[in-house]
Structure 1
Amino acid sequence: MSIALDVPLARSAPSSVSPRPALSMQIVSPELWDRTIAQFDEACQEQLYTFAKTRWPSVEHEPVLFWRGSEVVGGSLMMIQPLPMRLSALAVAKWGPMLARADHPDRLDIYAQMVDALVADYAVKRRLMLSVLPRASLSAFNAEYDHLTHRGFARGSELGFPNRYIVNLRLSDEEQRKSFEQKWRYHLKKSEKEGLAFEHGPAARLPEFAALYEKMLDRKKFADHSAYETVPALMAMPNETLRPELFFVRHAGELIAGAIIFKAGDRAVYLYGATNDRALPLRAGYFMHWHIIRWLRDNTPARWYDLGGTDGFHGLHQFKKGMVGDAGVIQPVPPVANYASHWWPRFAGNAAFFGRDSLQKLKREIDKRRADRAKPDQKRDEADASE
């Protein structure tokens, strides 16, 4: 059932001695879903219907909101993935369920109730395997993943290089520069002497970024397994909060670097970057990210800037680690957590994940052996260490 009205998100007072009412769960329209989660602290692009329908067109999307009384407290875009011959299906929540307010006094209780509701509906009632992937925590202890394991979820697939590199946005210029590692500061200072110019561009300038991006892939020989095909739809979103931002660096009249940044919620996210062959000697990446950090701090409520991972490249690890510095965090995305209340969806779901993981491993091995592909060179101890 869908509702047609916009949803108010009220800030709640601290919990009292009396018990909190139970949550109610409701599937809503895709349009209402995207409009509502624009207000969520934990909003992310993977949970947008606009993103998911392009990235995963063959699955069924069910946007679910959770209410506590008249207040929307969370939600999850559920993706129903049929398995071969439709013998069963997976119910997938990637980076969900999300909290509307990350600082809600009952945040862990709300999260637990949302998970209980998803288990009751998708795992018990519909007899599907429920697959949940929480986002990376800002501390060494991931409370959401810990809850899932204690709730009976089984450890599933995990990323080969799971660390996310997250910059603290709520610092002054002086504090931010001091936080950077010394070598990162050195390169930033060098870049500021090169006559570079920083630009914030409208969505209409996406073709300029696309031209940089395509040339970069050809030059660096990266295998692009990203969701770049979703960018035009995201940049066309009428909701200004959800629409990503475009940034460029120019030198002597020429565009040499660009970035696409998702800015909704309490964590802005670096989606895509592009450079030409002049950017590296001019250290344009250092210059661009420094100004993006300052722009996000001054123009959004985001508290953190998630730089993403490394895909196994040591150079990216060094660059992002230096930018995270002393004030940011490096923490891993936890493994997928799977739950099935019946033996058949558990068996079918585990077999499907095993097949998918084996295929992806094979593709990575093929990429490594191709002469026209860049070779990942990051050491495992760098990928495993949470700093």
Structure 2
Amino acid sequence: MADISQANIDQALRVEQLDATAWDAQAHRFDDVCQEQLDVFAAERWPAMALDRLQFFIGDRLVGGCLVMHKTAPLGLGGLAVCKWGPILLNNRLPSAQSDYKAIVDYLVQEYAVTRRLMLSILPRAVPTEQNSALEYLREIGFNQGASLPFPNRYFVNVDLSDEEMRASFNQKWRKHLRNSEKNELRFEHVGPDKMSEFNALYEAMTARKQFPDYSAYDSLNHLMDNIDGSIRPEIFMVYDEEGEAVAGAIVFVGGDTAVYLYGATNDKALPMQAGYFMHWEIMRWLGTQERIKWYDLGGTDGFLGLHQFKKGMAGKAGAITTVPPVMNYAHWFIPRLLGEALFLARDVKANTGRMINNLRKKGPSDQN
């Protein structure tokens, strides 16, 4: 059994279950909110999983929440409960934030791993600090490390700065490219959801041109944009050339204290015009005007060196490069542990095989030695 602190249990955690509409409507209140913790995203992305949408109170104080996906195996022989990038805290700057997180995790262990006899998997949120207290606590109470990303680096830009301070933070080469981009008569616009079709056309043309496999949840993006509560809908940013043609675009999740770069798209004109530098700079400036946003999470690189250099230069001296934590697993009972590990192994084999096949397809016959 996990080594759960009695002090955490003694905090008298009170739990409330919300329906899908109510959960998504209040999600914007949480500092740690992300799209993975939204019902509208999870229900579309993983339709075979049941969803619990939980709010946690200590006394009358709302402290956090968690969307948990779960599925029970036939005959009640186990199953999985998954929390991706959660639990989420209402206010992660409070002195009690760590103890609030621990109390919520302790509840999840008791409810899903012990009572429901499931293997509980938690993927902690990536944070722009070397120390990840959530990951440390999961290890402390007996969670075992599961799968991790092959390229786990995560790049964060500090947008809680003045324009001058942000610009000075970029590395020298990044600033040079930005200056060059600003000479190209580009126009930046923060647009509404009515421009989603314009972004889709740009993205689809880019993926067809580059012929790279897309492992993202892009196929669920239109559903998300059409059905999400307006308080937490991702923002759309577009860049146009002097003739009014869209040359670059981005979809950014703006919620809590961290904005997350979800998707980007460019056409053939964007590279010589260095439109990506111009676009991200203007997004950062816009984020800097949002009261709650402190960080701009640029995501990862999938091992592409050029993308690493681009994002590293943008994170700069004031930003951070950290890693996405591994999945952390806990099973209180033997059979759920055995079943859960087998399910995760099958998933990993399938994913790795798909990546290997796509890599071979991209190589010429002489490269496949």
Residue 286 (1) aligns with residue 281 (2): no
Residue 349 (1) aligns with residue 346 (2): no
Residue 339 (1) aligns with residue 330 (2): yes
For 2:156, the aligned partner's letter is I
Residue 166 (1) aligns with residue 170 (2): no
Shift of residue 243, structure 1, vs aligned partner: 0.5
Cα shift readout 1:50-105 (whole Å, capped 9, x = no counterpart): 11111111111111111112221101100013458874310000001111111121
Supply the distance in 2 between the matched residues of 1:133 and 1:223 (Cα, whole angstroms): 24
Name structure 2 gaps, 5 residues minimum.
1-8, 365-369
Supply the distance in 1 between the matched residues of 2:43 and 2:299 (Cα, whole angstroms): 22
Give the secondary-structure state (helix, strand or coil) at the position aligned to 1:218.
helix
Supply the distance in 1 between the matched residues of 2:330 and 2:134 (Cα, whole angstroms): 15
Residue 298 (1) aligns with residue 266 (2): no
Aligned to 2:173: 183
Aligned to 2:81: 91
Cα shift readout 1:244-303 (whole Å, capped 9, x = no counterpart): 111111002211000011101100000100000110000000000000000111135210
Q: RMSD over aligned Cα, in angstroms? A: 1.7
Shift of residue 22, structure 1, vs aligned partner: 2.1
Shift of residue 234, structure 1, vs aligned partner: 2.5
For 1:250, the aligned partner's letter is Y
Shift of residue 189, structure 1, vs aligned partner: 0.2
Cα shift readout 1:311-341 (whole Å, capped 9, x = no counterpart): 1211111111110000011110111110011
Aligned to 1:105: 95
- Which residue, out of 120, 139, 142, partners 1:149? 139
CA contact (8 A) 1:269 1:305 kept: yes
Aligned to 2:4: none
Shift of residue 136, structure 1, vs aligned partner: 1.2
Supply the distance in 1 between the matched residues of 2:228 and 2:302 (Cα, whole angstroms): 32
CA contact (8 A) 1:164 1:306 kept: yes
Residue 54 (1) aligns with residue 47 (2): no
Residue 227 (1) aligns with residue 190 (2): no
- Which residue, out of 364, 367, 382, partners 2:355? 364
Q: Name the TM-score, length of structure 2 as normaliser.
A: 0.93
CA contact (8 A) 1:134 1:144 kept: yes
For 1:155, the aligned partner's letter is Q
Aligned to 1:272: 263
For 2:192, the aligned partner's letter is P
* Shift in CA distance, 335/61, structure 1 to aligned 2, threshold 3 Å: same
- 1:252-267 matches, within 5 Å, as 252-267=243-258
Q: How many percent identity over aligned positions?
A: 51
Aligned to 2:304: 313
CA contact (8 A) 1:156 1:336 kept: yes
Supply the distance in 1 between the matched residues of 2:108 and 2:67 (Cα, whole angstroms): 11
Supply the distance in 2 between the matched residues of 1:367 and 1:284 (Cα, whole angstroms): 29
* Shift in CA distance, 172/127, structure 1 to aligned 2, threshold 3 Å: same
Supply the distance in 2 between the matched residues of 1:339 and 1:265 (Cα, whole angstroms): 28
Name structure 1 gaps, 5 residues minimum.
1-18, 374-387
- 1:13-162 matches, within 5 Å, as 21-82=11-72, 87-162=77-152
Q: Name the TM-score, length of structure 1 as normaliser.
A: 0.89
For 2:37, the aligned partner's letter is Q
Larger helix proportion of the pair: 2
Give the secondary-structure state (helix, strand or coil) at the position aligned to 1:299.
coil
Supply the distance in 2 between the matched residues of 1:237 and 1:170 (Cα, whole angstroms): 30
Supply the distance in 2 between the matched residues of 1:188 and 1:298 (Cα, whole angstroms): 20
Corresponding pairs, count: 355
Runs of 4+ in 1 over 4 A off after TM superposition: 82-87
Supply the distance in 1 between the matched residues of 2:77 and 2:284 (Cα, whole angstroms): 48
For 1:338, the aligned partner's letter is N
Aligned to 2:3: none
CA contact (8 A) 2:24 2:228 kept: no
Greater CA drift, 90-99 or 240-249:
240-249
CA contact (8 A) 1:37 1:100 kept: no
Shift of residue 28, structure 1, vs aligned partner: 1.4
For 1:121, the aligned partner's letter is E
Shift of residue 30, structure 1, vs aligned partner: 1.1
Give the secondary-structure state (helix, strand or coil) at the position aligned to 1:93.
strand
Supply the distance in 1 between the matched residues of 2:348 and 2:331 (Cα, whole angstroms): 19
Supply the distance in 1 between the matched residues of 2:77 and 2:245 (Cα, whole angstroms): 55
Give the secondary-structure state (helix, strand or coil) at the position aligned to 2:339.
helix
Shift of residue 372, structure 1, vs aligned partner: 7.7
Shift of residue 137, structure 1, vs aligned partner: 2.4
Supply the distance in 1 between the matched residues of 2:225 and 2:291 (Cα, whole angstroms): 18
